[in-house]
Amino acid sequence: MSTPWVFIVMGSDSDAEVMRQACAALDELQVPYEMHVASAHRTPERTKQLVTEADRNGAAVFIAGAGMAAHLPGVVAAYTIKPVIGVPLPGSPLQGLDALLAVVQMPPGIPVATVAIGGARNAGILAAQIIATADAALAGRLRAHRKSMGDSVVEKSKKVEKSTR
Ligand code: RP5
């Protein structure tokens, strides 16, 4: 792919349902992406290989989602200087708080931009926003997306508005 694209990776196929929300956001914004499964712990060599290949092949932003002892986003960040967005995933007995703390507490020098527990949609939008800093057409689509969200809030308000005056 010659245009900037997003590399998405998750620790297990059990993460796919949540991580597909990142794909949905990128589809809506017409941003190309690839999605893979690779584990920081179970397949460390595969993780390194996928990230270094994607980096070499023009991936502009990396999204990594993992649950439990969620080291995948940090490991991805170790192999690239491109922006990495971490998605802490729920599903553990600690309901994702474990993953949140693992993803957000990166050591100084190796940042991971962390979204909310299960926040894969925001990860997709944030990745698009990063690419849009150098892509005016994509910036326009992001502005249109914001406007339609605002319009839908007004529409919802109309349905619930009630006056007691
Ligand atoms: C993490 O362990 C994965 O990201 C997943 O959220 C969790 C459980 O993985 P599975 O046992 O379902 O493969 O590494």
Q: What is the pLDDT of residues 140-154, one digit of tens each?
A: 999 999 999 999 999
- 157-163: average pLDDT: 91
Would the CB of 66 count as within 6 Å of ligand 1? yes
Does the Cβ of 14 fall within 6 Å of ligand 1? yes
* In contact, 69 and 42? CB cutoff 8 Å: no
What atom in ligand 1 is closest to the CA of residue 66?
A: 4
Q: How confident is residue 164, by pLDDT bands cut at 50, 70 and 90?
A: confident
Whole-number Å distance between alpha carbons of 24 and 27: 5
Q: Name which residue sits closest to atom 7 of ligand 1, judged by CA.
A: 67
C-alpha 9 – ligand 1 centre gap (Å): 12
Cβ–ligand 1 contact at 89 (below 6 Å): yes
How would DSSP label each residue in 118-134? T-HHHHHHHHHHHHHTT
- The pTM score is 0.96
